[in-house]
Structure formats: C-alpha cells, structure tokens
Amino acid sequence: MALRFNKRIKIAPGVKVNVGLKGVSSVTVGRRGASVNMGKKDAHLNIGVPGTGLSTRTKVLSTDTQKRVCDAAIPTKQKTSAGEFFVMAVGLVTIFGILVWLF
C-alpha cells in the first residue's frame, strides 16, 4: 500500500497550487467554469457550465509535442530547459487568467 498526500492551497482569488509529497504538482488559474491547469508535463484548458456537470478539458501545451515539433523543425537538437517551459506556461496561464477575470 502506497502513501499518498495531496493538498490544494489558495494563493489568491482564482489561483490555486496543488502540493504533493514531491512538491508542487500543478498550478490552477481561473475560476469556476473556466480555468487553466499547468502540471509538470502538460497544460490543460478546462471549460464547463457550473451546476450542470457539463465540462470539457483540452490539452493546450505538452512537453512531448513541443519536443517533437522542435526536432522536426531544427536539424540540430537544441535542448530547452524546464525553466524556459515553466516561464512560458506561467505567461500563458496569466494571460488566460486575466481574460477570464475580466469576462
């Protein structure tokens, strides 16, 4: 039997951080009905109609997809660090969060 731990911490209105045994597992920005969730490997856009149970989840960014596109476009491999991916993902989530908050 494996030990599991998961805790969701609200940092600001519309910003939550999920923490597990190994540290921060994901960050969610948005409110009920529309949010973006960024994990270590993927970013997902979540859209739903509150109170109905209808929702959809779409992958908007993946490290696997990013790697395949880079390998196909550039003959010489260039390694992107996890820090560059994280900065790009945080920027995407911030822009989406502001748009959701405004509307």
19 falls within a domain:
yes
User: What ranges in the chain are assigned the alpha helix state H?
Assistant: 63-73, 82-102
pLDDT digits (tens, 9 = 90+) for 7-62: 888 988 888 998 888 888 888 888 888 888 888 888 888 888 888 888 888 888 77
54 falls within a domain:
yes
* Amino acid in position 70: C
Q: How far, CA to CA in Å, does 50 sit from each of 34, 65, 85?
A: 9, 31, 31
Q: Model's pTM, two decimal places?
A: 0.55
87 falls within a domain:
yes
Which band of pLDDT confidence, cut at 50, 70 and 90, is reported for residue 81? low
Looking at per-residue confidence, does 61 or 80 come out higher? 61
Domain count, the chain: 1
